[in-house]
Amino acid sequence: MAGERKVGVALDYSKSSKMALQWAVDNLMQKGDMLLLIHVKPSKGDEVRNVLWAQCGS
């Protein structure tokens, strides 16, 4: 099954996620595999809600 797999790695801006990516490449990837990088960005939902509440009370 070499070359038919998809390996996904979630990344954010942390050192540990970069280490996880390196680990996946070193230990899971085989020639022909597809590497899927999933970028994770923190939600600003709470921050926006707090600003709206402070400005409008809603």
**39-51 per-position pLDDT tens digit:** 987 777 677 777 8
Stretch 25-51: mean pLDDT: 87
Q: Which residues pair with 34 in a beta bridge?
A: 6
Whether the predicted pLDDT of 2 surpasses 70: no
Q: pLDDT of 3-14, one tens digit each?
A: 689 999 999 888
- Contact indicator for 30, 3 with CB cutoff of 8 Å: yes
Q: Helix, strand, or coil here: 8? A: strand
pLDDT at site 6: 96
Whether the predicted pLDDT of 18 surpasses 70: yes
